[in-house]
Structure 1
């Protein structure tokens, strides 16, 4: 198994966490985004979007961190990380959508502005960050994990960019429930760190 990633990519980190927590041996291949390695013909043949992460597992080549989490959870994680019952699965998947939408348009973009100097409406990204954090903090006021009273891929999908939100100049100090959830994630067996987390 091979993971094409970048050390500062929160989306890559989601997959790195899942692989570590499932104890799956793999080779990690760093894609140098600043040198444009994600735009080379060989990389674009794996992912025409030119984005990390990409997972290669035998004959399977998968892009998109949420899709890779689903694949790993169903193939290697049994019921623990992604249940097969319709209601449980839906509860988990709704947070994958939250990660791909609210978290992407808030914490991800605000961080991208400061990390790479990407020009965007920073005020809007920071406002969306706070709106997403409000929803997440209120949800976590009543539970330890996002769904099903245990860690699932929902937690891994949402965690990295929420944990990195300070790099987008949005503070977490007032979000006590989120801070406690982040600490619980840090204590999970197989947790691995990344710069900023």
Structure 2
């Protein structure tokens, strides 16, 4: 999987969308980020976190805000990605009992009235996998989005697979549907084959792992018997040790 060097994604790079970068993220900010990443010791994740904190300290505020409802997989995937790299994103926990998502102000930002929702200046983005792609594009230093056309298409393929095939499999398991067994055999079997000989779905850790893991690590995903799928089970163990996944384990209030 081809990745561009830290903080140096060329304009017009295939599979990336530099035109989506908002005003203010110019060469000066990239150079500042490069210096922060190059300085000091420690892991790449640690250097990215320090760079993010330095940027927030310099700006005095978070520029990007996530509206989230933590218990659901679609929200957890985005929160886990943000927290894994300590990205400079403010996370606002939604109050669905208070019907915050039904207010006129929220519906103007997200006409679907759902979460997650990412707000970056005047740009409002809903759909969790689109948010993952946007954040990975804003922060190429994470290396979580392939830079070559084939790698990006492979990434998109698995994001679509999660959004249609995997989610329907988990729904079938939850509903104890007659098709659940066949759905699991097909889709978890496909994932198991993909993970054979790989640490993560695309080989290296990527946004695909953050997109898929919360579904299988959640309550309904845990109802699946993974004994016939050893590569998936080993991958789940690896994902369970990721900082972002650990930081987003849902704990009801008072527990």
SS in structure 2 at match of 1:95: helix
Give deviations 1:24-73, integer Å, cap 9, x for gaps.
13322222334533233222211111221001122321100100000011
Structure 2 unaligned regions, length at least 5: 1-63
Are residue 174 (structure 1) and residue 228 (structure 2) matched? Answer: yes
The answer to whether the Cα contact below 8 Å between 2:85 and 2:142 also exists between their aligned partners in 1 is no
SS for the counterpart of 1:29 is strand
The change in CA–CA distance for 1:59 and 1:109 in structure 2 (over 3 A counts) is farther
Give 1:174 deviation, angstroms.
3.3
Counting matched residue pairs gives 187
What residue ranges of structure 1 are gaps of 5+ in the alignment? 114-120
In our comparison, the structure showing a higher alpha carbon Rg is 2
- The answer to whether the Cα contact below 8 Å between 2:194 and 2:201 also exists between their aligned partners in 1 is yes
Secondary structure class of the residue paired with 2:209: helix
Using the size of structure 1 for normalisation, the TM-score is 0.82
The separation in 1 between residues aligned to 2:148 and 2:124, in whole angstroms, is 26
SS at match of 2:178: helix
2:111 alignment counterpart: 48
Say whether the 8 Å CA contact 1:107–1:168 is kept in structure 2: no
- Give the RMSD, CA atoms, in angstroms: 2.4
CA distance in 2, matches of 1:42, 1:110: 36
Q: Structure 2 vs 1, CA of residues 8 and 126 (structure 1 numbering), >3 Å: closer, same or farther?
A: farther
- Structure-2 residue corresponding to 1:152: 206
Answering whether residue 131 of structure 2 is matched by residue 76 of structure 1, we say: no
Distance across 2 between alignment mates of 1:169 and 1:123: 15
